[in-house]
Amino acid sequence: MAPDAYEQASDDALLVLYGNGDPAAAELLTRRLAPRVLGYAARLLGGDRAEAEDVTQEAMLRLWKIAPDWRSGEAQVTTWLFRVVSNLCTDRLRKRRGVDLDSIAEPEDDAPGVVEGMIEADRAAALQKALNALPDRQRIAVTLRHIEGQSNPEIAQIMDITVEAVESLTARGKRALAAQLADQREELGYAKD
Amino acid sequence: MPKTDKKPLNDQELDQFFAAMQADDRAPSDRLLSAIMDDAARLQPQPALLPVQPTGAPQRSFLHEVMATLGGWPAMAGMTTAAIAGVWLGVVAPAGLETLSGGLILSQNAGLVDDSFTLDDLVPDDLASSFLTEDDG
């Protein structure tokens, strides 16, 4: 297959090619999917990058294993991956709470000048802190909807719940985030935006 | 969840936080990418190979190749039978063959054949003779 054709191929098609023994498909899938998986895992795990990398490698490993049995057109590869990552992260968060609740990584609180307003990294850190305070399912639903850009039906498939349940989780999650972040509005100079 | 008396962020303000987090994506390290691709190479199914003829298999001679092309032993047996039958017919010259050919094939007086037949022999009387003598009437 020509290089351009690889670039334009869907994740689904590339996974089938990988399952058929095409070595070029694996590299392209890795470069395409690993950043998204890593970002999502890091957000669910409260910003713990090292643990997010472990989850990313494990999720991709499961993808390679399922490739020979992958049935094209039945599901999107990203939907399948988000589901795997959600489950892996939820398991790790439960174990982590069982050991030490305070060990959840806090975003670095070294916000520099805030006179003219928060820079994007500060906003991201503040949002991560607020996300960490949400119940797991709300955090997963809000992250998938508003950060990863998944649709409600896709989230329903990922979380194995109804679309109505997704809407309820995201609505409650957003209300909680809005309240949490309001505390920091003036402190972080957001009021001047 | 901590309670607050302050006014919650509206949707537009909250969307700016979401956008900031989307922009905050960090690329995976080279170590992670290498580890993932190593796993991929290790677990990748191999394409099915075409069956290969064992190297110790005996090669067929030219005669065997010709025989195989003509149809193998059954065809060779038929051709041999036909050849033998031809030779036998030539040598033995069965009497029945002379009868069937009307003396044309094996006759020793083949040069007289032209004299053996007349027009009357070939055309029935009621057609040839009456046709030729029609004017008399």
- pLDDT tens track for B77-107: 777 788 887 777 777 766 666 666 666 655 5
What is the DSSP code string of A35-100?
Answer: HHHHHHHHHHTTT-HHHHHHHHHHHHHHHHHHGGG--TTSS-HHHHHHHHHHHHHHHHHHHHHHH-
pLDDT for res A88: 97
Q: Which residues of B22-49 are buried (b: 16+ CB within 10 A; e: fewer)?
A: eebeeebeeebbebbbebbeeebeeeee
Taking 50 as the threshold, does the pLDDT of residue A110 lie above it?
no
pLDDT for res A74: 85
pLDDT for res A99: 61
What is the average pLDDT across A72-100?
Answer: 89
CA B71 to chain centre: 14
Amino acid symbol at A18: Y
Inter-chain contact A21–B45, Cβ cutoff 8 Å? yes
CA nearest A124: which of B10, B29, B26? B26
Instruction: Quote the ipTM score.
Output: 0.83
For B29, which residue in chain A has the nearest alpha carbon?
A53
Query: Is the CA virtual torsion A158, A159, A162, A168 positive or negative?
Result: negative
Inter-chain contact A67–B45, Cβ cutoff 8 Å? yes
pLDDT for res A179: 92
Least confident interval from A46-50, A127-131, B58-62, B82-86: B58-62
CA nearest A188: which of A37, B103, A180? A180
Q: Which of B1, B33, B45 sits opposite A34 (nearest CB)?
A: B33
Least confident interval from A37-41, A77-81, A143-147, B118-122: B118-122
Inter-chain contact B9–A18, Cβ cutoff 8 Å? no
pLDDT for res A113: 45
pLDDT for res A139: 96
With contacts defined as CB-CB under 8 Å, which chain A residues touch B4?
179-180, 182-183
Taking 80 as the threshold, does the pLDDT of residue A136 lie above it?
yes
Rg (CA), chain A: 19
CA distance A34 to chain B (A): 7
